[in-house]
Amino acid sequence: MAQTQRIVISARPAVNVTVDLIGTEYMIPAPKTTVGLIIAERMQAANDDPKILMAELKDWIEGTFGEKHVEEIRARLFDPKDPLDIPDVAELIRQLSELGANPTT
């Protein structure tokens, strides 16, 4: 009779991340590595089309922050008095992608 080997991959414990986004704190679940890969691919595929970029950004914000905060963050992006801008969100995407790529930190 042949021996059977068993491999078990256990889930990592869920981790939340506190994000201070230009003076406003949000609690979000740590992203999966897949999310960073997908957003990078979609942003590159948008090929600098502002409409597509904004749609992808909205989808990312909703997927990351949930419906609860998507309109608030979107309003902040369009509020001329709020310093939050797209480069800040891009930096957040970068940092979260790195966090997802290195879950031990």
Q: pLDDT digits over 53-102, tens only?
A: 888 888 888 888 888 888 899 999 999 999 999 899 989 988 887 775 54
β-pairing, 24-29 vs 16-21, is antiparallel
Strands in 13-102 per DSSP E = 16-21, 24-29
- Rounded Cα distance, 9 and 92, in Å: 29
pLDDT digits over 5-16, tens only?
999 999 888 889
The pLDDT of residue 88 = 94
Question: What's CA 22's distance to the chain center, in Å?
Answer: 16
Whole-number pLDDT of residue 30: 83
- pLDDT over 60 at 46, yes or no: yes
The pLDDT, as a whole number, for residue 27 is 92
